Structure 1
Amino acid sequence: MAQDRGRFPRSVFDHGEDPDPRFSLANERTFLAWIRTGLAFVAAGLAVEALQLPVTDWLRVTISLLLVLAGLAATAQAWLSWVRTERAMRRLAPLPSSGLKLPIALLLGLVALAVVVGLLL
Structure 2
Amino acid sequence: MFARKPPLRSVGTDPDYRFTLANERTFLAWLRTALALLAGAIALASLVHDFGPRPFRIAITVMLLTLAMAITVGAYARWDRTERALRENRPLPNDPLPRIVVTGVGIVVVAAGVLVYLAEFSR
Tell me whether the two structures share a fold, i.e. TM-score over 0.5.
yes
Tell me the residue number matched to 1:88.
85
Tell me the residue number matched to 1:66.
63
Larger RCO (CA under 8 A, 6+ residues apart)? 2
The answer to whether the aligner puts 1:117 opposite 2:114 as a matched pair is yes
In 2: Cα distance, 1:61 partner to 1:98 partner: 30
In 2: Cα distance, 1:22 partner to 1:83 partner: 16
TM-score (norm 1): 0.87
Tell me the residue number matched to 2:15.
19
**Displacement over 3 Å in runs of 4+:** none
Residue identity in the other structure for 1:18: D
Check the 8 A contact 1:31/1:78 in 2, yes or no. Answer: yes
% identical aligned pairs = 40
The answer to whether the aligner puts 1:48 opposite 2:23 as a matched pair is no
Paired positions, count: 113
Shift of 1:10: 4.5
Q: CA RMSD in A?
A: 1.4
Check the 8 A contact 2:8/2:84 in 1, yes or no. Answer: yes
Tell me the residue number matched to 2:103.
106
Question: SS of the residue aligned with 2:105?
Answer: helix
* Structure 1 unaligned spans of 5+: 1-8
